Structure 1
Amino acid sequence: MTPQTPADFAPPGTPPTDQQLSEARAALDAQAVETVQWHFHESTGCPFWLEKKSELSFDPLTEVHCYDDLKKFPEFEDEWLRGGPVRRWVPKGLADKPVYVFETGGTTGVPKSRIAIDDFRTDYSLFSDTLPENHFPRGANWLMLGPSGPRRLRLAVEHLAQHRGGICFCIDLDPRWVVKLIKKGWMDHLEEYKKHCIDQAVTVLTAGHDVKCMFGTPKLIESLCLGLEERGTSLAECGITGIFSGGTEFTPQWTRFCVEEMFGGPPEKSGVYMTPTYGNTLMGLACSEPVTQENDYKITYHAPQPRAVLEVVDFDDTNSVVPYGETGRSKLTTLTKEFFVPGFLERDEGEREPPYAAYPWDGISGVRPFSRLAGGTTVGVY
């Protein structure tokens, strides 16, 4: 059942029942087997994996019986996602479907890309079921304050708005240009470009379009609040009641500042409810446990199992998860008919968290750029 208010969620840290844990694990094992059968069968398989099959030391069709058997695959190399032909990723069983291509990264060199057909719609339709109705009312229009271009986020948020009966207003934002400005040290140009993006958003919010919900990255939400304040108004006065956001800069400290200073207080006081998410082109959206003043704005994410799995693994032994509360690298496995990615090591790290009542599988908190790579990471608008 869709939660109607934030209070309808179980309190943060509420453990699942043994039955919930067992059912979730059974669903994951079944999804892993079904996905591998699909991608490695000659009649439905993905050309990339059918070709890669000859290099494997085992037969995926006969030797994958559960999720843990995916450890038999070698570490997924992100270079496999750079360059073409992109059709090698389209499974034979879906070859007659219209195909999208979404890009991720690519601030230098050839960007990584993945094909998509309906995954982005499915991911965001499932996410829709987690949104509290009183803050994200059905039929409300949305503002998409984030990257445009060859990224899945714009189309995904637009689908979310349409799925909920609304219309999405999008701004034009090129994060690769932002990264170049930062690397060149052109901070005055960066400030003007950010102002250009915020001006687009303010125009939408003040044009009488009945926009009540929005997506925004942390930096852009903060800049939008300041821009509205300069104009003598606020998100609440413009009619915004529900915000979902995402990015590694979504920290407890920023959340506290945003809720208490920018919004004017928690939802029951300000009328503005914000939910953090952690997502990317490969995974979809990881939802968070409720983020409240009572739990010091701690943010714990849980992947959209069984379609995707997040594990917090040892920095050196990436087939081993770290103990609960310990720090490790984020490792992602994607398990859909459109895309199979076993064991992709993310550019993020965090702490492993125990299963939660609404999401009865492991979570991750404190998500931040992977420390051994962070020196080369430009966060930009995110």
Structure 2
Amino acid sequence: MPEADQKVNSDMIPQVDAARDALNEHTLRTVHWHFHDDTGSPFWLEKKRELNFDPLTDIKSFDDLKKFPLFEDEWLRGGPIQRWVPQGHAGKPVYVFETGGTTGVPKSRMVIEDHWKDYELFSSTLPETYFPTGSNWLMLGPSGPRRLRLAVEHLAQHRGGICFCIDLDPRWVVKLIKKGWMEHLEEYKKHCIDQAVTILTAGHDVKCMFATPKLLEALCEALEEKGTSISEVGITGIFSGGTEFTPQWTRFCVEELFGGAPQESGIYMTPTYGNTLMGLACSKPIRAEDGYKISYYAPQPRAATEVVQFDDYDQVVGYGETGRVKLYTLTDEFFVPGFMERDEGEREAPFDLYPWDGVSGVRPFHQLASATTVGVY
């Protein structure tokens, strides 16, 4: 089907309508939680006084969230972090997860259990054949104040396994790139890969892993240099993420690094698209016959994405058309009524597994691309 001719399959309409109803209902509950005096956070209760409408009476559906001003990431820079904690969760242990921070004050998000819930939902999408329950995991990604490390660890524990982690400071990587110290960058990447190889060859029976595309490729090359492979060290299931996940790279990874499709190589890889605000969007299963196309679907109703026009962020583009990614986070811990991501892509139609819109071809937003530094990710 040509991209421009995409549309919702008529057989899908009842599922799509049901998913939309669930999203509308969830939106209403979330807004009432965050703007009620007894349960809302100090930030949103204060922001409520600045609005020219009453969220408790004027928000009746998901589309009504467009009444809110766009969420500004500057709101997340600096504290006090307590202003984001909903009063309905007062007294519970709070995590702080950061993003960015290479220059200036990093963006911080408070979390209580969202990272657990998001990854438990994601867990149900992993095929048991390649991600067997009880398996140990390797977390080959950023450490420090980032959500991903604890989330992957919880995923492993939720599935009955133990997670092994490496030390990786992405802020140092970005500094190396900006200074042009490429020799140091390569050494740091090698340092990270050496840690992973040590874990995988130490008899810990690791079968599943998270890795960024660049690190996954470097790991496969390092294992090959040692006369082994990712398959021979026991890995069967990989989930990965990042805007560098392109159809071209996926084809190279599956055909060259793994040795073929899962049925041949015994290795299954699922791309994901996520961040500290949203959680984790799953990919439609990637197939060679589809040209390794990667389409992501947000974990509705806890989060939703739209692909909107570049000159009007309230207008969704047509199916198959290109626009900027707009994010909504709708949990009882965190509320984001429309945040413009630093990514663009094409709007994808719902399908049986995820009966709501998706996004494919995710890449840095063209107006910001030159300012985006991609390191080990």
1:143-158 equivalences under 5 Å are: 143-158=138-153
CA contact (8 A) 1:103 1:113 kept: yes
Instruction: Report whether the alignment pairs 1:52 with 2:35.
Output: no
2:165 is aligned, of 167, 170, 187, to 170
Instruction: Report whether the alignment pairs 1:314 with 2:309.
Output: yes
Give me the whole-angstrom Cα distance separating, in 2, the residues matched to 1:199 and 1:14.
Answer: 47
Give me the whole-angstrom Cα distance separating, in 2, the residues matched to 1:269 and 1:186.
Answer: 40
CA contact (8 A) 2:322 2:344 kept: yes
CA contact (8 A) 1:244 1:276 kept: yes
Tell me the secondary structure at the aligned position of residue 130 of structure 2.
Answer: coil
> 1:248-290: per-residue Cα shift (whole Å, max 9, x none)?
0000000000000000111111100000000000111000101
Quote the offset at 1:17 in angstroms. Answer: 2.2
1:83 is aligned, of 78, 85, 90, to 78
CA contact (8 A) 1:75 1:342 kept: yes
Quote the offset at 1:18 in angstroms. Answer: 2.1
- Equivalent residue for 1:116? 111
Give me the whole-angstrom Cα distance separating, in 1, the residues matched to 2:82 and 2:306.
Answer: 29
1:141-290 equivalences under 5 Å are: 141-290=136-285
Quote the offset at 1:14 in angstroms. Answer: 9.2
- Equivalent residue for 2:3? none
Give me the whole-angstrom Cα distance separating, in 1, the residues matched to 2:12 and 2:294.
Answer: 22
Aligned AA for 1:351? E
Give me the whole-angstrom Cα distance separating, in 1, the residues matched to 2:172 and 2:358.
Answer: 33
Quote the offset at 1:108 in angstroms. Answer: 1.2
Give me the whole-angstrom Cα distance separating, in 2, the residues matched to 1:65 and 1:14.
Answer: 25
Aligned AA for 2:92? K
Aligned AA for 1:271? G
Give me the whole-angstrom Cα distance separating, in 2, the residues matched to 1:296 and 1:52.
Answer: 46
Tell me the secondary structure at the aligned position of residue 324 of structure 1.
Answer: coil
Give me the whole-angstrom Cα distance separating, in 2, the residues matched to 1:164 and 1:219.
Answer: 26
> 1:126-175: per-residue Cα shift (whole Å, max 9, x none)?
00000000000000000000000000000000000000000000000000
- Equivalent residue for 2:69? 74
Unaligned 5+ segments in structure 1 are: 1-12
- Equivalent residue for 1:361? 356
- Equivalent residue for 2:127? 132
Quote the offset at 1:23 in angstroms. Answer: 1.2
CA contact (8 A) 1:14 1:357 kept: no
> 1:44-72: per-residue Cα shift (whole Å, max 9, x none)?
01110000011101000011111011110
Quote the offset at 1:381 in angstroms. Answer: 1.0
State how many pairs are aligned: 370
Give me the whole-angstrom Cα distance separating, in 2, the residues matched to 1:278 and 1:33.
Answer: 26
- Equivalent residue for 1:65? 60
CA contact (8 A) 2:8 2:349 kept: no
Quote the offset at 1:77 in angstroms. Answer: 1.0
TM-score (norm 2): 0.97
Unaligned 5+ segments in structure 2 are: 1-6
Overall identity of the aligned pairs, in %? 76
Aligned AA for 1:192? E
- Equivalent residue for 2:4? none
Quote the offset at 1:106 in angstroms. Answer: 1.5
Instruction: Report whether the alignment pairs 1:373 with 2:368.
Output: yes
Aligned AA for 1:99? V
Quote the offset at 1:352 in angstroms. Answer: 0.6
- Equivalent residue for 1:4? none
Instruction: Report whether the alignment pairs 1:298 with 2:293.
Output: yes
CA contact (8 A) 1:286 1:302 kept: yes
Alpha-carbon spacing, 1:32–1:116, altered in 2? closer, same or farther (3 Å): same
CA contact (8 A) 2:12 2:351 kept: no
Give structure 1 regions of 4+ aligned residues with deviation exceeding 4 angstroms.
Answer: 13-16
